[in-house]
Structure 1
Amino acid sequence: MSIEFTLKHLETFRAVVIAGSITKASHRIKLSQPSISQQIAKLEEVLTTQLLERNRTGVISLTPAGDYWFKAANDLLDRLAVNVDEYEHRFKNASVVVRLGATPALRGRFTAAAARIAQREPGFVKFELVYALSSAELMEMLRMHKLNFAIVRQPVLEDDRFAFAVEHLFEDQICWCVPAEISRQQLRQAFTPDANKADLHPALSSYVEIDPGVITHKASSDWFRNNLPFAAPTFSAPTFVSSVDFVVEGLATCHIPLSLLPNLTEGQRRKLQIVRVDNMSHQIMLAMPKHLLTLGPYARIFAALVEFCHTQYAPEMTTENSLTLAELLSGTEPADLSSRTERVSEIAGT
């Protein structure tokens, strides 16, 4: 069989399979749906076989031939990416280009530190920061070599963990974020079955609903429904970062990950109380294509990012105005709060 299709056909085919539908792939690779359909049709014509099956909702599944060519496309495109990476590093002025993918909660303190780490490398050319609302989206971009580093939740790595260098960064716990002006007594009162919302601070009757694309959307909605049934999703926001703005103004409460705290200003943190919620946490990992470990600058950047998270960033994921839900409900203050704050300040060098 003569080769009458191009790498572009294989890249588009792989993008559709990874995204799960032509519609989603269109958003990911910025190509129109008709163009994608034409490329898939051309590939099927050249191979004289059907590769994809589509149901009524547009979700695709692979035929046996499609499964074969998806694996073949992955192998070919991955090997090509390795060659391109090595070529750019060895022959194009030893250039170091870092494309880091993260969720918006990590903007600020984290991404600035990552940029400084990358900039220290000889041959550094560019640092590109790419945001996505979910780890699943970041993982898609990592598989398609649009990123060379990604900060993701552990479960999304399970299917192809062996293709990536992976290190644990921190445990990211989801917290209930409330205005600092609300007394602890009122917070406890809000959890009593016969709580009268007319007697409570108005912010306790409203919460910020996070974008459905964020993985914690359902768990957050369920938590408010079960624990504060009188509270309504009066506000909505696309990210945790924007959710905090409503709380800082004393308008509502919301859920945020602890990893957001180091990225808030001191002024914002003073206006917040943080209540850590049990059974709502994720293990956060750093992932990089494994072949990049053979390239010194990328291996050093990878190791430096891990060290930064372990020694500086994770210890900063707390605040003086913080307690667990159990401590709140029992009316006890954390006994070691002052010493814990001193230890965090010492580690952070503040």
Structure 2
Amino acid sequence: MDLNLRDLRALVAVAEAGSFTRAAQRLHLSQPALTVQIRRLEEAVGARLFDRNSRNVALTPTGRELLPLLRKSLHDMENVLRDARALGQGESGTIRIACLPTFAASVLPELIIGMKREVPRVAFQIRDVVASTVNALVRSEEADIGLTGGEVADPLLEVLHAGVDRLVVVCPREHALAKKRHIGLKDLARAPLVLTAPGTSVRAVVDAALGETREALDIACEPTYMMTAVAMVRGGLGVTILPETAREVRAEPGLVVKPIDHPAFVRPIAVVKKRGRTLPAVTGRFVERMREAMDATGPQDGGAFRMTVIRP
């Protein structure tokens, strides 16, 4: 017969109280029910644990030797139960998130701070990577949730929330585009361009948008990182097109940010999880924080993460 939590609590209570009556009161049990538990425990151990008479109850030598071990087992089991309840209720756990670098460097820090205030025992594993890698990490279950860019066509991924991220032009203050009130496709097609590398979600949007013009593009360079693109613009190689939420767009005081007067320059973004997988409770709470923060961020806030909720 296996030991259980109630039997261990019964033994410790009787040992500490020195009385079945007082122990039963402490455990909110009837005395006969407590007696049954102690007998069950003695049967499981295979030895008598208490000597009883009409006046008191005392541990046998075997009971005295076992008491410290059973106390430790009780303590360990109660800790496991408490930790399991905390995990199930979202009061602890690890949030494993893969996300676009623009999100990691803009909205994410404030969300983490707020979450840690609400759930002090939460931990975070963060992978800030390009959209294709975000999707791969969620598919392989190395991340439980992802904030990705581009259209989500992968049947293994479930979209929890979706929206768009506006793209803007970053150019030197003295550049001709900096002086224009409206920047359109032809303006961009005629300027030397510093574009992020092919395969990124931003580049996919830019290529699709610029594909509407038949003019030959002057692509000066294709760096991997947004900060490198900004540095190239500062150096005079051309202008770049980046998400408005990227901190890099305002990293150089000599550069200006200009909106693009064309509806194609928006990047789809989405919060995703692997289809058929249940999120840890604490991660579900964080997804709600992400949704609330993104819904509250609009043009008046200087942000571009404007999410439209999609109810699966």
Per the normalisation by structure 1, the TM-score is 0.50
SS at match of 1:238: coil
Which amino acid in structure 2 is aligned with residue 150 of structure 1? Answer: G
Q: State the distance in 2 between where 1:189 and 1:154 align.
A: 22
SS at match of 1:120: helix
The answer as to 2:161 corresponding to 1:167 is: yes
The answer as to 2:107 corresponding to 1:110 is: yes
Q: State the distance in 1 between where 2:300 and 2:244 align.
A: 11
Aligned-pair CA distance for 1:232: 2.6
The answer as to 2:304 corresponding to 1:311 is: no
Assess if the C-alpha contact under 8 Å between 2:161 and 2:270 holds in 1.
yes
Q: State the distance in 1 between where 2:297 and 2:225 align.
A: 24
Q: What's the CA shift string for 1:26-81, capped at 9, x where partnerless? A: xxxxxxxxxxxxxxxxxxxxxxxxxxxxxxxxxxxxxxxxxxxxxxxxxxxxxxxx
Assess if the C-alpha contact under 8 Å between 1:175 and 1:258 holds in 2.
yes
SS at match of 2:155: helix
Task: Decide whether aligned partners of structure 1 residues 246 and 160 sit closer, same or farther in structure 2, where only a CA change above 3 A counts.
Answer: same
Aligned to 1:258: 244
SS at match of 1:116: helix
SS at match of 1:259: coil
Q: State the distance in 2 between where 1:179 and 1:228 align.
A: 26
Aligned-pair CA distance for 1:103: 1.7
Assess if the C-alpha contact under 8 Å between 1:99 and 1:128 holds in 2.
yes
Task: Decide whether aligned partners of structure 1 residues 235 and 137 sit closer, same or farther in structure 2, where only a CA change above 3 A counts.
Answer: same
Aligned-pair CA distance for 1:189: 11
Identity over aligned pairs, percent: 12
Q: State the distance in 1 between where 2:121 and 2:91 align.
A: 8
SS at match of 1:210: coil
Aligned-pair CA distance for 1:147: 0.9
Per the normalisation by structure 2, the TM-score is 0.55
Aligned-pair CA distance for 1:208: 1.1
Counterparts of residues 199-238 of structure 1 (less than 5 Å): 204=191, 206-217=192-203, 220-221=206-207, 227=213, 229=215, 232-238=218-224
- Give the CA RMSD over aligned residues: 4.0
Aligned to 2:67: none
Assess if the C-alpha contact under 8 Å between 1:105 and 1:239 holds in 2.
no
Assess if the C-alpha contact under 8 Å between 1:180 and 1:272 holds in 2.
no
The answer as to 2:152 corresponding to 1:143 is: no
Counterparts of residues 28-67 of structure 1 (less than 5 Å): none
Aligned to 1:292: 279
Which one has the bigger helix percentage?
1
Q: State the distance in 1 between where 2:285 and 2:300 align.
A: 22
Which amino acid in structure 2 is aligned with residue 292 of structure 1? Answer: L
Q: State the distance in 1 between where 2:210 and 2:240 align.
A: 9
Aligned-pair CA distance for 1:224: 5.4
Aligned-pair CA distance for 1:130: 0.4
The answer as to 2:233 corresponding to 1:247 is: yes
Which of residues 286, 291, 308 is equivalent to 1:301? Answer: 286
Q: What's the CA shift string for 1:283-342, capped at 9, x where partnerless? A: 32222455226x2x32321111111111136654569xxxxxxxxxxxxxxxxxxxxxxx
Which of residues 255, 263, 280 is equivalent to 1:278? Answer: 263
Q: State the distance in 1 between where 2:85 and 2:129 align.
A: 26
Aligned-pair CA distance for 1:157: 5.5
The answer as to 2:175 corresponding to 1:182 is: yes
Which amino acid in structure 1 is aligned with residue 174 of structure 2? Answer: E
The gaps in structure 1 that reach 5 residues or longer are 1-85, 198-203, 320-350
Assess if the C-alpha contact under 8 Å between 2:138 and 2:145 holds in 1.
yes
Assess if the C-alpha contact under 8 Å between 1:117 and 1:305 holds in 2.
no
Larger Cα Rg: Structure 1 or Structure 2? 2
Task: Decide whether aligned partners of structure 1 residues 180 and 226 sit closer, same or farther in structure 2, where only a CA change above 3 A counts.
Answer: farther
Task: Decide whether aligned partners of structure 1 residues 178 and 276 sit closer, same or farther in structure 2, where only a CA change above 3 A counts.
Answer: farther
SS at match of 1:217: helix
Q: Number of residue pairs matched?
A: 216
